[in-house]
């Protein structure tokens, strides 16, 4: 970790909360289920402890202890890798300070690495627009060494330029994956050359996704879980990540749509604080397909893991073990 922040948890600030067990097959809310209010207690406890405990000068607290996991050992380190994050577009006057705030929040939450992209403010992105964004991500990797890893964002509509940009970012700049947004549904043939290049380069694609029961204004080409499942059937060797299960509409529908798509991983990020999402995903998809992410909703992202009714070993897999398995280059970095 790059941070020198020293703190220790205070039991009065960060109580160990054990949520009631949920039945993922029961979609009706009962009095015994984990409520939104209870979930927010987990997030609030995490945020309060992390925000105030810096006044203490005790020993350094590990990422595992932050969320109530057993301490890591040298042979079994617990990694915390945020698979979905964003640096800020430089059209924002506060972009530099906002990037620093993201890293500061990651320090407090003991998130070691953030896998980041930058999106153009308006889409569909032009060639010049996505090249500029990727250059700024490359700058961010240098500004925050060991903390930021890059996704190459492209618009598949610019076929050859998009492929050239991906090669440049992965082979020359060390980016770890590809970011696709909503310019094209991921099952459109224009996307296929990008998937084939991702397979060739052995990098994942983080696909913006969501399923709404009404048209989304401004996102007519948004992909959902069924599109990713279809793409995975076409390219079973591809490493696909379905973005923000807690920020993409009907999460139960999405999880069920991915049941028979073992090549698709699920990113846990988003600002929605519904109860039982991770438990349901773990039962339907398996813990090995879940990747910890925040999408810049930092305390909600970590609070979701803290409040999940899952074993310590399962939480460790979600927090970073699965992403390290997906990307061995991340596992090779020092904890």
How does DSSP assign 76-133, residue by residue?
S----EEEEEEPPPTTSTTHHHHHHHHHHHHHHTT--EEEEE---SSSSPPHHHHHHH
- Residue 89 · residue 116 · CB < 8 Å: no
Q: Which of 182, 169, 160, 102 is nearest to 137 (CA)?
A: 169
Phi-psi label, residue 43: left if phi above 0, alpha if psi -120 to 50, beta otherwise:
alpha
pLDDT digits (tens, 9 = 90+) for 219-240: 889 999 999 999 999 999 999 9
| Residues in Cβ contact with 104 at an 8 Å cutoff, skipping those fewer than 6 apart | none
Structure tokens at 280: 């349901």
User: Domain boundaries in the chain?
Assistant: 63-331
Q: Which residues have CB under 8 Å from 122's CB, separation 6+?
A: none
How does pLDDT run across 115-157, given as a tens digit for each residue? 999 999 999 999 999 999 999 999 999 999 999 999 999 999 9
- Residue found under tokens 């618009």: 155
Question: Exposure string (b/e) for 244-278, b if CB count within 10 Å is 16 or more?
Answer: bbbbbbebbbbbebbeebebbbbbbbbebbbbbbb
| Residues whose CB is less than 8 angstroms from the CB of residue 13 and which lie 6 or more positions away in sequence, other chains included | 45, 48, 49, 52, 53
Tell me whether residue 15 is exposed, middle or buried, using C-beta atoms within 10 angstroms of its C-beta: 0 to 12, 13 to 18, 19 or more: middle
Spans of the chain below 70 pLDDT: 1-77, 331-335
Rounded distance between C-alpha atoms, residue 110 and residue 102, angstroms: 12
Question: What is the reported pLDDT for 59?
Answer: 54
Tokens of 92: 């924002």
Dihedral over Cα of 297, 12, 277, 272: its sign: negative
d(CA 333, CA 335): 6
Query: Is 0.95 surpassed by the pTM of this model?
Result: no
Q: At what angle do helices 298-307 and 95-108 cross, to 10 degrees?
A: 20
Contact 228, 195 (CB under 8 A): no
Residue 107 burial (CB count, 10 A):
18
DSSP 148-171: EEEEEE--TTSHHHHHHHHHIIII
**What is the dotted CATH code of the domain comprising 63-331?**
3.20.20.140
Joined tokens for residue 104: 């500061």
């Amino acid at each position: 970790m790059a941070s020198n922040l020293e703190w220790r948890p205070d039991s009065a600030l960060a109580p160990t909360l054990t949520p009631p067990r949920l039945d993922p097959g029961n979609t009706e809310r009962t009095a015994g289920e984990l409520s939104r209010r209870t979930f927010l207690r987990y997030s609030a406890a995490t945020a309060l402890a992390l925000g105030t405990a810096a006044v203490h000068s005790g020993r350094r607290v590990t990422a595992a202890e932050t969320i109530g996991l057993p301490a890591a050992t040298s042979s079994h380190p617990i990694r915390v890798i945020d698979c979905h994050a964003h640096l800020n577009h430089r059209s924002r006057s506060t972009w530099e300070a906002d990037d620093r705030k993201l890293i500061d929040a990651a320090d407090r939450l003991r998130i070691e690495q953030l896998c980041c992209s930058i999106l153009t403010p308006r889409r569909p992105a032009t060639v010049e627009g996505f090249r500029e964004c990727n250059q700024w991500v490359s700058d961010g990797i240098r500004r925050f060494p060991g903390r930021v890893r890059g996704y190459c964002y492209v618009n598949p509509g610019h076929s050859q330029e998009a492929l050239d940009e991906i090669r440049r970012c992965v082979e020359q700049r060390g980016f770890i994956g590809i970011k696709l947004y909503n310019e094209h549904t991921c099952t459109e043939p224009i996307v296929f050359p990008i998937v084939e290049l991702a397979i060739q380069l052995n990098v994942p694609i983080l696909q913006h996704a969501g399923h709404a029961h009404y048209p989304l204004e401004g996102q007519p080409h948004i992909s959902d879980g069924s599109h990713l499942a279809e793409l995975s059937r076409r390219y079973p060797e591809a490493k696909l990540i379905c973005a923000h299960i807690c920020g993409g509409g009907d999460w139960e529908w999405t999880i069920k749509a991915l049941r028979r798509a073992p090549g698709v991983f699920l990113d846990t990020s988003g600002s929605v604080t519904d109860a039982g999402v991770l438990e349901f995903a773990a039962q339907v998809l398996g813990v090995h397909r879940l990747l910890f992410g925040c999408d810049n909703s930092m305390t909600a992202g970590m609070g979701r893991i803290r409040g999940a009714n899952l074993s310590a070993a399962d939480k460790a897999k979600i927090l970073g073990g699965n992403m390290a398995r997906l990307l061995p280059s991340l596992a090779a970095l020092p904890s």
